[in-house]
Amino acid sequence: MSKLDSLKSIRQLHQAYESGEWTPTAVTQHFLDQARPNRLNAWITLCEQRALNQASLAEEVLKLNGGKVPRATHPLLGVPMGIKDNLAVEGVRMTCASRMLESYIAPYSATVVERLESAGAITLGKLNLDEFAMGGSNENSAFGRVLHPTHPDRIPGGSSGGSAAAVAAGECLVALGSDTGGSIRLPASYCGVFGVKPTYGRVSRSGLVAFASSLDQVGPLARSLDDAAQVLAVISGHDPLESTSLGLPPIAGMGEAEMKGLRVGVPQELSWLGAAPSVREAMESCVEALRSAGAEVIPVSLPRVKHSIAVYYVVAVSEASSNLSRFDGVRYGSRSPHAVSARSLEEFHSVNRSLFGAEVKRRILLGTFSLSSGYSDEYFLRAAKVRALIADDLDSALSSVDCILSPVAPTPAFRAGEKTKDPLEMYLNDLYTVPANLAGIPALSLPWSRDADGLSIGVQLMGRSGADDQLLSIARSFGRVRGEDLV
């Protein structure tokens, strides 16, 4: 076993670079060798030559700085990363795990990718996902499902399942995902890694293929909280290319919150009653550990949160229907070989859009109905109004506590195929995660325990809008309460 198999953090990697134990090229080659067999089906495209070229540049930077990592200018020097395949990387295929974009080559890089590579990160390749980020299990990819890193019969979570599985399996050190209703936090919980959804607007969406524009947010997945915080510090900050980008400075990083006197809210309406016994046990052990460490665990009320799933699956599918209308085989997207025999424009579009998978088609149809004449007031506008009430409830609760604690998912990772025949049951799996997206507040998943089968169970923390640094600091303190330093 290579010493590189024990590599767990950016800090450890940089110490090895500075001691001369490892070089960026050797590290990059190691991770490419881990990723190339694609045992988990986590990768769609590997960028081997690009990655090795970036490793050579990283070695030049080290030489110019006397063998030291210039953390002020290149805080992620030589860090091997994976990028979810709905984020553009210039000159590299971007598929969104769909046959609709199977041959598309991105002409530019997403802002987050540009910032990572400018900070010295090395792009190993593009990671598998649910098609167009629509799904919570990673069973909807046109390139096949991603396997769970330790239990191949289970799902890794979605839609950023490739990102979580690759990080957990040591095929990249950190990865980027996107989160529309839990798509970073769910796979992070299932795979036993850290996943952070920042405040809406803290991280640029420029270069991210939109699913639901008012909900999507890019964030990191990592094996250490410190690594996730370092990546956020690089990718956050205002972007003039992105209209919803907040005029806030980059996330500064992570301190450590004082646990004694910390006020942790537990939503009365999000009780553990709907959760599996192992998830309830994890939450109860977390609450007990917090109290023993001096935190105040306070019941908070979120009276409208019970409507979150219904609101989310109107807002998200409506925005998806609008965003994906451009993929018609004329303006964007592949053209079906059968389109040449179409006898009408309607048939031409129908044949081309048959390239979408079943789940994407379902959501487009639902969204088109919600936006249709005579129904938009009844569905989309009403959902938008209730969404504002849910956000008000969360803001009100967070005015009296420092964070809100909940499960990430009702169960640990379930078996592949277990919920595919019942879309409603699959959608209900997002119960705990969608409120943060509807309100635009930061939320993260951190590993807490494992069940009798060894499956990871994460807990979710939600924080005040814009207070991403504070939420990271609180999460670090949770790790110490658990008896493990998360950095």
**Would you name the residues annotated as active-site residues?**
84, 159, 183
Q: Tokens 């991603």, residue?
A: 146
Encoded tokens for 48? 């081997």
d(CA 197, CA 202): 10
Helix (H) or strand (E) holding 81: strand 80-84
Question: What are the Cα distances from residue 128, in Å, to 40, 79, 89, 289?
Answer: 10, 20, 15, 36
Type and span of the H or E element at 80: strand 80-84
Of 275, 273, 263, 267, give the one whose Cα is nearest residue 302.
Answer: 267
Give the helix/strand (H/E) hosting 177.
strand 174-179
Neighbours of 426 (CB within 10 A): 20
Which of 255, 225, 249 shows the shortest CA–CA distance to 235? 249
Q: Under 8 Å CB-to-CB from 344, ≥6 apart: which residues?
A: none
Local structure of 460: helix, strand or coil: strand
Maximum separation of any 2 CA atoms in the chain, in Å: 72
- Compute the Cα dihedral for 89, 92, 98, 101 and give only its sign: positive
Peptide bond into 477 cis (omega under 30): no
Torsion, CA 36, CA 40, CA 44, CA 47, rounded to 10:
-30
Residues in the chain: 487
Closest CA to 113 of 83, 135, 156, 138: 83
Phi, psi of 314 (to 5 degrees): -100, -50
Q: Name residue, tokens 């005015």.
A: 399
Rounded distance, CA 186 to CA 160, Å?
8
Q: How far apart are CA 173 and CA 167, in angstroms?
A: 6
Query: 213 with 319: CB under 8 angstroms?
Result: yes
